[in-house]
Amino acid sequence: MKRLWHGFALGLALLFLTAPPALAQEEIRIGVIYPLTGAAASTGLELKNALELAADIINNGTKGLNLPLSTTGGLPNLKGAKIKLIFGDHQGNPQTGATEAERLISQEKVVALVCCYFSNVTNTASQVAERNGIPFMNPESSSATLTQRGFKWFFRTTPHDDLFVTNFFEFLKDVEKKKNISVKRISLFNENTLFGTETTKIEEKLAGEQKYPIVEKILYPAKSTQLTSEVQRIKAANPDLIMQSSYLGDAILSMKTYKELGVSPDALLANDAGFNDSEFLKTLGKDGEYILSREVWALDLAGKNPLIKQVNDLYFERYKTNFNGNSARTFTGLMALAEAINRAGSTKPEAIQKALVETNIPGSKLIMPWKGIKFDATGQNTLGSGIIVQVQDGKYVTVWPFDLASKDIIWPMPKWDQRK
């Protein structure tokens, strides 16, 4: 009997010696869905890079950064658990995005999703998350209706197009008042997915309310391979200002077509997206100069927030390019999600959802020029804000609000034949 007991005790001791510590270093599996192939693959790569930098900062710690979880080396409330990103590729296709969301939830067992840049893909993928009761973090998609669906699992850190287009018209009023510049003829030139169509509706509404005449409105097919007839209509309308919403390929194609057909308004005011992608200026060079765009981030704001430069330096060291508004927002979205998971102290979806609802991150802990991150009942961050940047000498510089501006606005843009 004693031999049996000693054998049992020895076996039990060996079991405890060889078994891994319970819950220590658990992986927190987060699903990520972006356009990693296809026309927007370069954008998707930038977003992927931003997420991997954020995960590395959280998992391994980086001294001297005033970011959530930047010095802990993992999630302290989950015994040092590390973030593991599981990637999916939606290729710019809404149905593919939904399919990838299903795969990540059912097969990869992710505890939350970060997705999707394209508003129309975010729309379908988030429906899958809502149906499955999985927290969905949306760092970039700006279509206002995404937070008007009554969803309980959807959270968006970026401001939306209602705010951004309102900024457009606030900017025009300030330019008129302080620069004595008057805009009398506006053309709308937007792609025809959820992003562009919703933006068009808001632009029409606000232009009507504020008495800005719209002389042409064009919704062109997304992923167009030629825009000649559409740009000819813009030329015939002869606007002072073009308001444009385009993803990368369309933004580059339109600029080339403007030059080819001699379309040169006083200003082009873009709704971010393709006009702020790093490939935009790499491809167009000086032909991308003087474009105005709404933004949420700019490197020249580092003078007011040193954290911007500190994190951008890490990104540049690793990827040899600067953050832009897209990648900076994506970085911030994962930081906010990880901070909530840590506060939840759990990987259960209900606990993470509750923590997201209670999120209150101050602006001092962000690389964005926002007051912070705090979600309302619809899942929309109420503390975000926008700026206007302009391409000057190959850089995006802040020109509005005027109290944040690092450079004076150049208006009108030089005509094509007058550019150096």
The pLDDT tens digits of the residues spanning 110-152 come to 999 999 999 999 999 999 999 999 999 999 999 999 999 999 9
Q: How far apart are the first and last CA of the chain?
A: 96
Residue with the bigger pLDDT between 161 and 375: it is 375
pLDDT number for residue 17: 40
pLDDT number for residue 136: 98
pLDDT number for residue 228: 96
Q: Can you tell me the distance from the alpha carbon of 262 to that of 301, in angstroms, rounded to the nearest whole number? A: 34
Amino acid at 371: K
Tell me the two tokens of residue 406: 């690092």
Tell me the two tokens of residue 251: 């933004």
Q: Is the pLDDT of residue 12 over 60?
A: no
Pick from 4-13, 148-157, 272-281, 346-355: least confident: 4-13
Pick from 200-214, 272-286, 342-356: least confident: 272-286
pLDDT number for residue 21: 39
Q: Can you tell me the distance from the alpha carbon of 156 to that of 381, in angstroms, rounded to the nearest whole number? A: 6
pLDDT range class, residue 3, cuts 50, 70, 90 = very low
Q: Which residues contact 247 (CB under 8 A, 6 or more apart)?
A: 39, 40, 43, 118, 191, 195, 222, 273, 274
Mean pLDDT score of the chain: 91
Q: Which residues contact 46 (CB under 8 A, 6 or more apart)?
A: 277, 278, 321, 324, 326, 327
Q: What is the mean pLDDT of residues 379-383?
A: 97
Burial of 12: CB neighbours in 10 Å, binned 0-12, 13-18, 19+ = exposed
Q: What is the mean pLDDT of residues 353-362?
A: 98
The residue whose two tokens read 């029409």 is: 204
Q: What are 250-285's pLDDT values in tens digits?
A: 999 999 999 999 999 999 999 988 898 889 999 999
Q: Could you give the residue ranges of the DSSP H alpha helices within 107-247?
A: 119-132, 161-179, 194-209, 228-237
Long-range contacts of 13-18 (CB under 8 A, 24+ apart): none
Q: Can you tell me the distance from the alpha carbon of 105 to that of 111, in angstroms, rounded to the nearest whole number? A: 8
Q: What percent of the chain has pLDDT over 70?
A: 94
In order of 119, 134, 145, 242, 260, the CA distances from 203 in angstroms are: 17, 34, 15, 11, 27
Q: Is the pLDDT of residue 74 over 50?
A: yes
Q: Is the pLDDT of residue 408 over 90?
A: yes
pLDDT number for residue 50: 98
Pick from 102-111, 145-154, 401-410: least confident: 401-410
Q: What is the mean pLDDT of residues 349-375?
A: 97
Q: Is the pLDDT of residue 35 over 70?
A: yes
Tell me the two tokens of residue 61: 């710690």
Q: Is the pLDDT of residue 11 over 70?
A: no
Q: Can you tell me the distance from the alpha carbon of 331 to that of 311, in angstroms, rounded to the nearest whole number? A: 10
pLDDT number for residue 292: 96
Q: What are 300-326's pLDDT values in tens digits?
A: 999 889 999 999 999 999 999 999 999
In order of 245, 342, 413, 415, the CA distances from 419 in angstroms are: 24, 52, 9, 7
Q: What is the mean pLDDT of residues 96-111?
A: 98
Secondary structure class of 31 (helix, strand, coil): strand
Written as one string, the DSSP assignment of 118-141 is SHHHHHHHHHHHHHHT--EEESS-
